[in-house]
């Protein structure tokens, strides 16, 4: 019992220290950078433990006020639902397959395991084997393993959402202890939370802290339509915590741990989690449609600041101002540049992050009520949200399965191509571990623009053109950072 109190005491002191240090450190730090909290498989130094702290540092009055037993109970409940994830990549220089192997079935020796590439955490979302983690934990993996209760399971990647950095896995196991999910909207700044994960390859580690802020936008998502509205916490989050659970004192999920602000890549007092409400929407969409349904108003926005408020003669500095009309619902409902969006369905919109988060809960075809400020007058409008193409249709991902080369491809919408400044392109949706695409080093999420100068516009094109080429093949690729690269191969 004494040991438990000592451990909890350390976590509480850490939380208090981080909260008091927050403003001075965050406001004056210029050399920090945001990092995803996943782990590379290698020997890493463990953090130096705190010393000279005992349960006597907390009075009985403080212990009763904080109800320390809740920490132990929340830890016991939540750790049962957190798993350890290891990813593998194929050794590109051994057992290489040829074009003839793939098309004419010549036997080749396979390397089923590959090289351990990284690790992270995951959360059991449902008892039938669905597990949530971060996209960056499993991105580019040829094989994914889930370690739970001293057993190892190979996981299937069900879907990803780069805009929120969430990925959904599935293992063949029933009656798992799924985590209870709380609404992240109920989380308050100052609430106590626990971060549960596998930092430094140590399994089932729990740290405590408080919610330092909500609705943080930190610019870490490398996506065309990023959704960033993080819960910020000072609970210690370290490499390997990515994809782990942020829970309340009931042990209920309020977020998925994703990123940290650090010079070194280790804990520095600032961790960020994707809110559980966003996670739940992403999971439901991936299970039902295979992709996340994104609803659009059809505007570009900017948070109102003092300068904008003065220009628009606003008495209060709040809301987001429309800077561009991009068609869709905004154009149909006669919204204008300069309109200030104050609320969506009575939910106050103070920042760009709040706007993005609120829209993320809807699907195309949903009708919403927005309150705008135009020339000093408040106006309420009812609008029907659209998809990326400007229609109210729900998009079910159309996937072309090119089995002969071991990959699946999807088309890219005209609007997304416009955002990316692309005239053509198809996206690699899935890569088979022992297929030709994997052997070529091409990764899930890459956009293939052309092959030997032939533009790629239809998901069926790549395999069709590739099958006719002998000799040198040059593939133009757009990577996730939007840079273009040319890959050269010989067949």
Tens digit of each residue's pLDDT (9 = 90 or more) over 25-69: 333 333 456 556 665 444 433 333 333 333 343 334 333 456 767
Nearest-angstrom CA–CA distance, 35 and 413: 30
Q: Are 332 and 278 in contact (CB under 8 A)?
A: no
| Catalytically annotated residue among 242, 262, 276, 360 | 242
In the numeric block, which tokens belong to residue 374?
A: 């135009």
* pLDDT category of residue 186 using cuts at 50, 70 and 90: very high
| Catalytically annotated residue among 136, 142, 252, 285 | 136
Nearest-angstrom CA–CA distance, 155 and 124: 12
| Catalytically annotated residue among 142, 165, 285, 356 | 165
Nearest-angstrom CA–CA distance, 260 and 29: 14
Nearest-angstrom CA–CA distance, 431 and 291: 17
pLDDT tens, residue by residue, 304-332: 999 999 999 999 999 999 999 988 899 99
Write down the pLDDT at residue 54: 38
* pLDDT category of residue 238 using cuts at 50, 70 and 90: confident
Nearest-angstrom CA–CA distance, 294 and 316: 31
Of the two residues 12 and 301, the one the predictor is more confident about is 301
299-384 domain in CATH 3.30.2020.10? no
Write down the pLDDT at residue 43: 40
Task: For 159-187, give one letter per residue: b (16+ CB within 10 A) or e.
Answer: bbbbbbbbbbbbbebeebebbebbebeeb
| Ranges for all domains in the chain classified under CATH 2.30.42.10 | 299-384, 399-490
Q: What is the mean pLDDT of the chain?
A: 81
* pLDDT category of residue 189 using cuts at 50, 70 and 90: very high
Nearest-angstrom CA–CA distance, 338 and 30: 33
Write down the pLDDT at residue 153: 96
Write down the pLDDT at residue 463: 87
Domain 1-289: CATH class, spelled out: mainly beta
| Ranges for all domains in the chain classified under CATH 2.40.10.120 | 1-289
Nearest-angstrom CA–CA distance, 245 and 258: 9
* pLDDT category of residue 128 using cuts at 50, 70 and 90: very high
> Nearest-CA neighbor of 474 among 482, 96, 466?
466
Write down the pLDDT at residue 99: 38
Handedness of CA 47, 52, 58, 63 (dihedral sign): positive
Judge whether 242 counts as a catalytic residue: yes
Among 54-58, 109-113, 470-474, which stretch is predicted with the lowest mean pLDDT?
54-58
Domain 399-490: CATH class, spelled out: mainly beta
């Amino acid at each position: 019992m004494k040991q438990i109190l000592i451990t909890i005491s350390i976590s509480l002191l850490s939380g208090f220290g981080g909260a008091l240090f927050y403003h001075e450190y965050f406001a004056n730090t210029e050399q920090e950078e945001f990092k995803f909290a996943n782990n590379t498989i290698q020997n890493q130094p463990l953090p130096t433990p705190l010393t000279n702290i005992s349960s006597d540092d907390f009075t009985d009055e403080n212990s009763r006020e904080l109800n320390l037993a809740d920490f132990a109970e929340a830890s016991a409940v939540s750790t049962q639902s957190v798993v350890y994830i290891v990813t593998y990549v194929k050794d590109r220089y051994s057992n290489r397959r040829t074009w003839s192997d793939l098309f004419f079935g010549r036997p080749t020796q396979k390397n089923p395991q590959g090289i351990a590439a990284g690790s992270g955490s995951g959360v059991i979302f449902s008892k039938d084997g669905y597990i949530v983690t971060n996209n960056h934990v499993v991105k580019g993996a040829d094989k994914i393993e889930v370690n739970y209760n001293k057993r190892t399971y190979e996981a299937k990647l069900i879907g990803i959402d780069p805009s929120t950095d969430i990925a959904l896995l599935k293992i063949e196991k029933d009656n798992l202890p799924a985590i209870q999910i709380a609404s992240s909207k109920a989380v308050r700044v100052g609430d106590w939370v626990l971060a549960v994960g596998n930092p430094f390859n140590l399994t089932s580690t729990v740290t405590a802290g408080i919610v330092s802020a909500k609705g943080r936008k930190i610019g870490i998502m490398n996506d065309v339509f990023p959704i960033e509205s993080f819960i910020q916490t000072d609970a210690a989050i370290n490499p390997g915590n990515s994809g782990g659970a942020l829970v309340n004192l009931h042990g209920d999920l309020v977020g998925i741990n994703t990123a940290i602000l650090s010079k070194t890549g280790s804990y520095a007092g600032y961790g960020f989690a994707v809110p559980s409400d966003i996670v739940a929407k992403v999971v439901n969409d991936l299970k039902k449609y295979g992709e996340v349904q994104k609803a659009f108003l059809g505007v570009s926005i900017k948070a109102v600041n003092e300068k904008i408020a003065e220009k628009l003669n606003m008495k209060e500095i709040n809301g987001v101002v429309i800077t561009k009309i991009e068609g869709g619902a905004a154009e149909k409902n006669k919204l204008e540049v300069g309109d200030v969006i104050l609320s969506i369905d009575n939910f106050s919109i103070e920042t760009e992050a709040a706007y993005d988060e609120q829209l993320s809960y809807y699907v195309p075809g949903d009708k919403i009520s927005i309150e705008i400020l135009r020339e000093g007058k408040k106006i309420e409008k009812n609008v029907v949200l659209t998809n990326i193409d400007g229609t109210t249709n729900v998009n079910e991902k159309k996937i072309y399965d090119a089995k002969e080369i071991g990959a699946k491809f999807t088309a890219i919408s005209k609007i997304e191509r416009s955002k990316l400044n692309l005239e053509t392109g198809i996206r690699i949706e899935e890569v088979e571990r022992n297929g030709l695409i994997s052997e070529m080093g091409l990764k899930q999420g890459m956009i293939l623009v052309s092959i030997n100068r032939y533009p790629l516009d239809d998901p069926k094109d790549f395999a069709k053109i590739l099958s006719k080429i002998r000799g040198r093949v040059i593939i133009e690729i757009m990577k996730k950072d939007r840079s273009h690269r040319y890959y050269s191969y010989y067949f």
